[in-house]
A and B are shown apart, each in its own frame.
Chain A
Amino acid sequence: MSLILLFTTALLIEKIILISVLFAITLGVAAYSTYGERKVAAFIQDRLGPNRAGPFGLLQPLADGVKFFTKEDFTPNAAERWLYILAPGAFMFVACMTSAVIPWGTQLTIFEKPVDLQVADLNIGILYIMGFVSLGVYGIMIGGWASNNKYSLYGAIRASSQMISYELAMGLSIIAVIMMTGTLSLKEIAAQQAGLNWNIWYQPLGFIIFLVCALAECNRAPFDLAECETELVGGYHTEYSSMKLGFYLFAEYINMFISCAVIATLYFGGYNFPGVDPGWLGGFMGPIVLFAKIIFFIFVFMWIRWTIPRFRYDQLMHLGWKSLIPLSILNMVLTGAGVLLFEN
């Protein structure tokens, strides 16, 4: 009994350390994504970008953070006070929860003790992510509604309609991947793609659908209708200030980071790379490979944002419902027929 207790306590401490480190890395990546975004935008538009705070402007995210923390945090008189405070918190909370099921690598060996590089290997891993993606709508809807501002209301309704529309095509494109892998656990999905046996070779159409849906779910350009400055001022966060606004902006970058991690895990082999054993460097090679892929996809997200102009709202809804959903069903049926015909 005491042995079991000891084991679980050790496991508990291990998990707490893993969660804390992961949390810090998530926040750090999100912070430096803002810097990366501005540098990429500057590069694409032939400018310099932030270059005053520290060498190459590397301290810019820190300066932005300090500014967010020390700005006045005020609530409009007409707002529903508690919901107004709750909404950005809920949005940030949901964004922070999704990283739990992503396999960051195989195993680390620390003090001759194996440590799993995944917070929880859930049997239903990918559905866990879908669940939290679907909960992300609340932070936006309640924030927009509680602000009691017409721009916020329209921004919130637009954003949430867009998110729920693209969730369907996202779910359908994931189903085709699951048909190939036969499991919902992200750990097994990553492990099956050893070497260059990546899912992208079997699911090119599914990947494109997933990428488009991920862009729409993160409310990123060309789908950033919710905060379309020319029509809606700031969208659902028009009335927010200080760190509440910071939460909304920050959570979007966390969502982008996690989306890129999911894309890398589902379609691009996760921590696998041909000729590289994820167990090298005491297990640190897996996370390094995965992070290289994630950073590449974050760059792709930014590249898309600064290259493609924004959609109109009717175009956005038409793309989601009339193109992506039939296309993803077609992809699913083709995958099923293909696998059954070729493997029998």
Chain B
Amino acid sequence: MEPSGYMPIVLQSLVALGFVALVLIVVPLLGPRRKSDKKNENFECGIEGQGNARMPVSIKYLMTAILFVLFDVEVIFFYPYAVNFREMGFNGFFAVLMFVGVFLLGFYYVLRKGAFEWDR
């Protein structure tokens, strides 16, 4: 398939963009507008707000994101293989098996080091 096959995708994105923009512009005009300082405060279950929400979060989330990037790139490598999997036969399979071995080694290391321990 040639690049021109992507034209419908552009069309669909224009339709979706138009719909989203239209709703985001029109809807605020339909509802009532009654502003007050108390109402526009951030919701904190009724108590007085303390500071703002620009605060550091647990490093475990960052760890998850870093490991996600690494594993995601490794997973991407499997796609070109999977498409050609039958043609490659056992040669390709062993090459990928080695890659999967290294993948699992890294996975086991990260597991043992406790990066996935969320209950501690």
Chains A and B directly touch (beta carbon < 8 Å): yes
Chain A positions near chain B (C-beta within 8 angstroms): 12, 15-16, 19-20, 23, 68-79, 85, 88-89, 92-93, 96-97, 99-100, 119-123, 127-128, 145, 147-154, 157, 161, 164-165, 167-168, 171-172, 175-176, 178-179, 182-184, 233, 238-239, 242-244, 247, 313-314, 317-318, 321-322, 325-326, 329, 332-333, 336-337, 339-340, 343-344
Instruction: Determine if A122 and B6 form an interchain contact, defined as CB atoms under 8 angstroms apart.
Output: yes
Query: Do B8 and A19 have beta carbons less than 8 Å apart?
Result: yes
Inter-chain CA distance A74–B42, complex, in Å, is 11
Q: Given the complex, which residues of B lie within 8 Å of A176, measured CB to CB?
A: 82
CB distance from B62 to the nearest CB of A (A): 10
The CA-CA distance from A339 to B92 in the complex, in Å, is 13
Are the C-beta atoms of A92 and B9 separated by less than 8 Å? no
Query: Residue of B at shortest CB range from A128?
Result: B9
Determine the distance from Cα of A176 to Cα of B75 in the docked complex, in whole angstroms: 12
Collect the chain B residues with CB atoms within 8 Å of residue A74's CB: 33, 35, 39-40
A332 cross-chain contacts in B, Cβ below 8 A: 78, 100
Q: Which of B37, B83, B100, B116 contacts A317 (CB 8 A)?
A: B116
Q: Is the CB of A120 within 8 A of B42?
A: no
Chain B interface residue count, CB cutoff 8 Å, equals: 66
Provide the residues of chain A in CB contact with B41, threshold 8 Å.
Answer: 76-78
Interface of B, helix, strand, loop or mixed by DSSP? helix
A127–B83 alpha-carbon span in the complex (Å): 12
A sample of 7 inter-chain contacts (CB < 8 A) reads A19-B12, A19-B15, A96-B19, A164-B72, A165-B64, A325-B107, A336-B85
The one of A69, A93, A100, A183 that contacts B20, using a Cβ cutoff of 8 Å: A93
Q: How far is the CA of A71 from the CA of B83 in the complex (A)?
A: 50
Q: How far is the CB of A163 from chain B (nearest CB, A)?
A: 10
Q: Which residues of B contact A (CB under 8 A)?
A: 1, 5-9, 11-13, 15-17, 19-21, 23-24, 27-28, 30-35, 37, 39-45, 52-55, 57, 61, 64-65, 68, 71-72, 75-76, 78-79, 82-86, 89-90, 93, 96-97, 100, 103-104, 107, 111, 116, 118-119
Nearest CB of chain A from residue B71's CB, rounded to whole Å: 5
**Does the CB pair B12–A157 fall under 8 Å?**
no
CA distance A171 to B79 in the complex (A): 9
With both beta carbons as reference points, the residue of chain A lying nearest to B67 in the complex is identified as A321
Q: Is the CB of B16 within 8 A of A97?
A: yes
Which of the residues A96, A99, A123, A164 comes within 8 Å of B64, measured between beta carbons?
Answer: A164
Q: Are B8 and A314 interface neighbours, CB within 8 A?
A: no
Q: Are B8 and A72 in contact (CB under 8 A)?
A: no
Contact of A243 among B17, B27, B39, B82 (CB under 8 A): B27
Assess whether A233 is in contact with B42, with CB atoms less than 8 Å apart: no
